[in-house]
Structure 1
Amino acid sequence: MEEAAAAVAWEASVGQQKKRGRVPEAAAWDGAPSSVGERSERDFREQLQGEGSDAAFDEEPTPKPKRKRGATGTGAVAAVAGLEDLSLMDVVKTKGKFVRIGVKLWVERYEKDAKSATGELLMMLFESCGAKYQLHASDLAEIDVDDVVLSLVELAKDVASLVGLQLVTSFIAVAKTLGTQRETTQRQLNAEKKKQKDGPRVESLNKRLSWTHDNINVMEEMMRKTFTGFFLLYRLFMHRYRDVDPNIRMLCVKALGVWIASYPSLFLKDSYLKYLGWTLNDKLRSLFLQLKSALVRKTSVLALQNLYEVDYNVPSLSLFTERFCNRMIELADDIDVSVAVSAIGLLKQLLRY
């Protein structure tokens, strides 16, 4: 029984050595029991030679050659080759990884045909700004490229101003929602305190009240930075309300009127009302721009009408009324009829007080 067990153990060890591909040492054979002599060392070596030589087991497998870093695969070559048939905008939208190569190809096209390549570049700018305009190479001889680029810059400025002003309007909406939550939480907290119980409910309400209050402060601080922030991005209103473009000035005045009416706790102050008063004098020398400036003055008057309609706002408007009352009277005789009509309506509101 012991000899059989030893034989099984020996065969198992030989099988493991065979899998490893190494020739067993002589000492291993010396320790094998004589009852398994049917598989001698000679037979075992012949079996190994039949499967392969000793050298074949000792040699390490030849590693596959590594592809050098930076080598371009077949797929990448095909992708780059396909860029020649794409415009600059198509490369930006669909082949973002190959923008630099696309630019180099555009430079090559420009060297061959400057007008066609310039038209392609302008079309990319048009599409990026959301303008629906078709430009052909033949059109470049009839237009001033500088004027086209300037128009695109103005369009981008209009969009950026509108987005920035709308951002403040969104801040106000969030702050008002948080304010409603704060009032509700405060009422619930007062009700719990009347019960004279300091449990987990009171602790939860205190945390919620603190959270809403902190977030309201964050929103209001971001609104203030729109006017007096240190960074240029935050001083959006101070730069744009006196922009050379009357349309942008009108957008700023209209937005300010909405902000004051929607969130008087922050904006119904002389430091913000003065901008409405200053834009009552909006005017430019150019006849065409004078018509545009009239829209700015009218927008300011309409914003003031909305503020004077609310009796609660009148006490906070007393200093503003005293400062700009004469200008409001002058607007009743404005060169623009629509401004004059709006100013008369504003004066009627003032007579109530």
Structure 2
Amino acid sequence: ECEVLHQRLNEVNETVLKSESDMIALNNAWRETYLKLQQDKERELLEITTKWINHCKEQDQHHSKENEQVHHSVEILMSEKDELLTRLSKIAADRLQHGNVDIADLSDPDRPTKLQDVYTELYDNEWTDAFEELMEQRNVSDTCAIRMLLDILMCSFRMCREITWCRYERLKNVLASIVIAERNPFSSAMKVMSDVPVPGVVNQEKNTREQFGNNNEIEDQKVAKESEELLGPNLGASSKNKIENEKEMRFECSLDLDISLEKQIKDIWQRTTMALKEKGLKQLSYVMETSMDIPYRFLPMTSKYLMICIDLCWKMGVKEKPLHLDCVAEKGVGAEKRFDNGNFRPYTQSGENVDFVVWPALFLHEGGPMLVKGVAQGCSSNKK
């Protein structure tokens, strides 16, 4: 019986061992299956994540590109808007400034307020230096020196104004005649393009050149020739007659040009006239030198004063309404004439009457508001 039990026990042990072995094998198989499944899921999740990340990147790039396109479109629209606003503002400003010189163009470096400052500094600085130089080097009286400096300024003013304004009239005539010719090819305005006279400067024949020496004779002859070529042989009364002739010929050309065309004419005139400024200054200084019998080459301060006068008057003339200089220091008529304290201030002596004018008053335009007071010497009422 013990043997039977012992045999039975061995069988049970074998069964237990087999069961344990089967359990271990099953457990290993399950673990392998679980690990494989886990790896598959992780791989699948990684693929899904990678695809999603790539998709998000593509979407982000697409949206970024769209955003750039939209931003670029916005910039273009804003630029077009700014351009339209600028054009609108320019048109509005042109309409506002057209014919109204009291409104200054702040973009103009030579606007009246700037020229006003230059005019004031010219009297305070260069005029004083030239005045002292003339009295010392030329041995002239103070009254004579004042008169010479005043003549230099007023001669520069008249010559520059005639030259610059005649150029404006001629340019306006030609452009207006083109407009008329487009409307009526048989219009007499076509003659304006070929018949408009050219204003000029007086051909100076004085022999005062000898006092300047012969070192620059060739250069002077060249300048004189250029002066006649650019400015013509006549200035003064004949040039005024030519201006009147131009105005008569403009009768048919005096149509109402729109503001934009007027602005273009003005811009072209100002650019071309200012482009000729340096050459004009040299030639005008030659004319002034030969006509006024002043040896500027030996008077550096007076020469500097002359050049600034011509430069300033040239800029004053290149305006829709040129700045104006006035030497009339008295108001009233006949025996009622008195010192004009509104537009002039005393030089070294005040009085009811005017002895002589030292410095002209500057006005925004002829008949316009005053910018700078003039200077005049006063005297008592009984002084002749």
Q: TM-score range by the shorter chain?
A: under 0.3
Larger Rg: 2
TM-score by length of 2: 0.22
Q: Which has the higher helix share?
A: 1
TM-score normalised by L of structure 1: 0.24
